[in-house]
A and B are shown apart, each in its own frame.
Chain A
Amino acid sequence: MARIIVVTSGKGGVGKTTSSAAIGLGLALKGHKVVLIDFDIGLRNLDLIMGCERRVVYDFVNVINGEATLNQALIKDKRVSSLSILPASQTRDKDALNKENVGKVLDDLGKLFDFIICDSPAGIEAGAMMALYYADEAIVTTNPEVSSVRDSDRILGMLASRSRRAELGLEPIKEHLLLTRYCPKRVAEGEMLSVEDVEDILSIPLLGVIPESQAVLKASNAGEPVILDTDSDAGQAYQDVIDRLLGETIEFRFLLAEKKGIFSRMFGG
């Protein structure tokens, strides 16, 4: 059985697509068969972050409407052969999806892959509901900031009430907290919510803390998911996330502000 994981947040711009891309690629690098689905119909982004935007011929909506087969629409990643991307349609809107058809596509994908990562659109409307409906697990992406936390809380309520698992009374969706754009220095100065604050409010298990990093923007523009940048702290933090998703216990890193060493202090490095 494939694990269906939705990457969601409620609020926009917190790093859902960046995280989906990094997690999808990271799992594939570990040898798992992974498909990344862009549920943000009309605002297609995942293909850009993955660097495959020029290879999109057919999309998710074409498959839903029976205009293309899954094999025609799936784009194989050039870096890792066990990773595929199912891009969103840029010309349609979110009403193009319905539960029945999405369920069928996910069923078919489940036969081909170990992990199905659903990159959810922002908001709490139909598109976001569709992305989370069939999920087994949810990665709730949150910035350490009050409005993002509030929106994540709202989405957690939706996961518990509007998903297939909730409707059928099955075991609830497994929730993971992914804190992104974390800046320990600003936390120390009291400008940003701390990991503990966010955990206290949302009370779900922490999957990872991704530090605010220049590497993320660079990676997005280059179409190379940041997890490939193994020198960057963000890349390493995503690597930890992958290990935790696969059941390992890894200590959290990048939670404290870096103390300047004697050399950097002397030479202003």
Chain B
Amino acid sequence: MADASIEFKGSSFTLSVLHLKSSELADIRADLTNKVAQAPDFFYRVPVVVNVEKLNGSIDYQGVKTLIEEFNFTFVGFTGVIAKAQRQQIRDLGFSFVNSAKANTTTKAKISKESVVAKTESVAATTQRHLYTDKIHRGQVRSGQQVYAKEQNLVIIGSVSAGAEVIADGNIHVYGSLRGRAIAGATGHHSAQIYCQNLQAELVSINGHYWLSESMEQHWDSPVYIHLTDNELTSSKLI
């Protein structure tokens, strides 16, 4: 029988990770009290992974879990344990061990210099690799029109007129002449690129770096792609 009522799928989420710098429960309690008092609503029922990487010796895993639950966090599991024995100990206690994907610190809020540091870690690497889908626009983008592909690549089957604007969080492909403005990697992706069959643009921009038409002389009126190399815009011939 097919499992019609359930389905297992993998998804990635951003979780708060609590970095412990001391295994002394009293210290942790004192610092957490201070931290939570600053923004009680913000931390209420926030899922938390506890990173014990920086701790030496024996750790009272059960005590840590009970403690952070006292502060109304939702305990998810432990992370940052390398020793096999410790991992086994965590499992034996009935807790989960969470493997972080390559950690990328986006925000960092120190709870205390001595004992704990709270960080938001992106467990998901999906956004970094930007596996964007494509938004396809058939026909010319006329002067005064604006096409924005939010969290997508933008494919224009036609030309982009002078005075028109095409924007994408991912890459931009123009199968025609690019005479207007093209802004790729709009929300900050330095690996975004702009491809066009004929470059006559008013402006091209990738991740905030931009060129006006006078900077495009090298490949003007030819098939080109534009990308960032060492934070500098570069154009290369397509064919």
Contacts and interface: CB of A to CB of B under 8 A. Distances in A.
B47 interface: no
A151 B143 CA distance: 8
A201 B144 CA distance: 14
Contacts of A157: 141-145, 164
A150 B145 CA distance: 12
Given A150-B163, A153-B163, A154-B163, A203 B158 contact: yes
A261 B60 CA distance: 106
A156 B143 CA distance: 9
Interface residues of B, number: 15
A161 B163 contact: no
B15 interface: no
B40 interface: no
Interface in B42-91: none
A201 B161 contact: yes
A160 interface: yes
A157 B143 CA distance: 7
B222 interface: no
Nearest to A10: B143
Interface in B79-110: none
B22 interface: no
Contacts of B142: 153-154, 156-157, 160
B188 interface: no
A153 B159 CA distance: 12
Nearest to B141: A157
Given A157-B145, A161-B145, A203 B162 contact: no
A156 B139 CA distance: 11
Interface string A196-235: 0000110100000000000000000000000000000000
B213 interface: no
Among A151, A153, A154, A157, the most chain B Cβ lie within 10 Å of the Cβ of A153
A124 B142 CA distance: 14
A205 to B, nearest CB: 13
Nearest to A155: B142
Among B140, B163, B164, the most chain A Cβ lie within 10 Å of the Cβ of B140
Contacts of A150: 143, 161-163
B158 to A, nearest CB: 7
Closest 4 CB pairs of A and B: A157-B142, A153-B143, A154-B143, A154-B144
Given A150-B161, A153-B142, A201-B179, 7 more contacts: A150-B143, A150-B162, A153-B143, A157-B141, A157-B142, A157-B143, A203-B159
